[in-house]
Amino acid sequence: MKDARRWGLFNTSAFRMSMGYTLLVALAVCVTLGSTYLLTQSIIQGDVDLIIDTELRSLENQYVRSGIPGVTQEINLRIDSWGRIGAVYMLAGPKFDRLAGNVTNWPFDGAPAEPWPEFRIESIEPGQRSVHPVRAGVRKLPNGDWLLVGTDMSQDRRYVRTFQIATLWGIGLSILVAAVAGFSFSFRLARRVADVTDTCVRIMSGEQGHRLPVVGTSDEFDALATSVNRVLDRLEEQTRTLRATFDSVAHDLRAPLHRLRTRMDAVLRLPALESGIREPVESALREVDRLQRTLATLLQIALAESGAPLASPTPVDVGELADELVELFEPVARERGLTLTGRADHGVIVEGNRQLLAQLITNLLENALKYVPSGGRIDVAVKRLADRGHLIISDNGPGMPAEERMRAGQPFALVGQRSGLQSSGLGLSLVSAIARLHRARLALESNDPGLRAVVSLPLSEPQASPASLSRSMSA
């Protein structure tokens, strides 16, 4: 369950959106910091190159003015603390032998090919030996001598390196912050959506007093919750009104029926009743009873449609119930020359109203008993398929044409013009209302020949709310 819930979070659109934004932030930070880094590096290099170029030109000018001695003097002057920090100079003969400067050997193999060659100088300063990277420029003087001016880059390299580390940290931290913010945002969002779906599931399963939580942050969720709650209040109000209407209709119709029946009953109990009167009164009484039954069925349909009977559902073993009813109906079927068999798996447990489920099976059975001619068979099966329980009542009777099967669930749909059989189709309407109440699917199919009624019921789950939560979240 817990895993399902966590994976559920990854499936939310809020999570996907925040992941997308995290990636976008990461990309933006990378581009900004990366280009700043590259730009800084090239500016530093450009500065160094400009200085080297300027010094080379000034030494060349010195050569033009006062020849090699002038250049040598100038170099020595610059080495002796007049020059810049970290500056490297060398004047070499045509064979690269040293004439002047602060480098002992010509660092290259002959003349370097690239415009800004680099090399390393090892220096021994008090206490430690260090290696300095040097960037240099080389010119050939008109007399064949070689002039080299370079700059110790260790300072700049350190600077660039620090910048590099800072850039990487920056990128990493901003991605982390974006990811954490996004995750907590989507988690909060998912939790509030889960609250909403959870409440909806509870309300649908009959806890009509339930309302969406209003946190008091007056954000869009509170606005949503408030208006959904208003809708729910309205619905509950309507259900209450409907229920009150049923009750008063039931009362107002039953009370006169009751008076009528009581009086007719009293007439029938008169000791000196002529048989010529008894017979019509008895048949009128049967009509009253039929009227009463129709009224009861109608009220039951209306009540089942209102959802009220599932306010306190209990676990019902549909297999056991089907077996009991098959046992109850079997002698009646045999009396009519029919074979009634049951093949029910037990332990197919549904959250619902036992009486209504019994009524559903009874109505389907009585429907079959009514239409299947003598010699036919009726079979009741209950089995478990994945997370649903299937109740299947099939017969090999005349069946029902396709368009009638479609209409059968509607109240007062006259099923068949079979003469002599009084059926207003209310029985099947009640079946479909009870099925809907239990969130079941009712299908009337052709059994080739005959009719097959399949009621597919959602099984009760021990931990209904977390499971439905993760399912609705990943949906």
Partner 1 sequence: MHILLIEDDTEAARVLVKELRESGYTVDHAADGREGLSRALAGKFDLIVTDRMLPHIDGLTIIQQLRGARLATPVLVLSALGTVDDRIRGLKAGGDDYLTKPFAFAELLARIEALLRRRPSAAESTVLRVADLEFDLIARKVARAGREIELTSREQKLLEFLMRRAGQVVTRTMLLEGVWDLHFDPQSNLVDVHISRLRQAIDRGAERLLIHTVRGSGYVLKEEED
Binding site for partner 1 (CB under 8 A): 247, 250-251, 254-255, 257-263, 265-266, 268-269, 288, 292-293, 296, 299-300, 303, 308-309, 311, 324, 327-329, 331-332, 335, 353-356, 358-359, 362, 366, 369
Minimum Å gap between C-beta 246 and partner 1 is 9
We find the least distance from the C-beta atom of residue 353 to partner 1, in angstroms, to be 7
Q: Identify whether the C-beta of residue 371 lies closer than 8 Å to the C-beta of residue 421.
A: yes
User: What are φ and ψ of residue 472, in 5° steps?
Assistant: -75, -25
Write down the least CB distance from residue 11 to partner 1, Å.
Answer: 40
Q: Please state whether the peptide bond connecting residue 107 to the residue before it is cis, i.e. omega within 30 degrees of 0.
A: no
If the CB atoms of residues 141 and 356 are measured against partner 1, the closer one turns out to be 356
Measured from the CB atom, is 359 or 394 closer to partner 1?
359
Closer residue to partner 1, CB minimum distance, 247 or 279: 247
> Minimal distance in Å, beta carbon 390 to partner 1?
23
> C-beta of 231: minimal distance to partner 1 in Å?
25
* Nearest CB to partner 1, comparing residues 100 and 303: 303
* Rounded Cα–Cα distance for residues 7 and 29 (Å): 29
101 in Cβ contact with 90 (< 8 Å): yes
Other CB atoms within a 10 A radius of the CB of residue 448 amount to 8
The residue (of 167 and 306) whose beta carbon lies closer to partner 1 is 306
Of 195 and 324, nearer to partner 1 (C-beta) is: 324
Residue 166 or residue 311: which is nearer to partner 1 going by CB?
Answer: 311
CB of 15 to partner 1, least distance (A): 44
CB of 446 to partner 1, least distance (A): 25
Rank residues 75 and 321 by Cβ distance to partner 1 and give the closer one. 321
Burial class from Cβ neighbours inside 10 Å (0-12, 13-18, 19+) for residue 389 reads buried
Residue with smaller CB distance to partner 1, 277 or 311: 311
At closest approach, how far in Å is the CB of 5 from partner 1?
Answer: 35
Task: Please state the closest distance from residue 435 (CB atom) to partner 1, in A.
Answer: 16
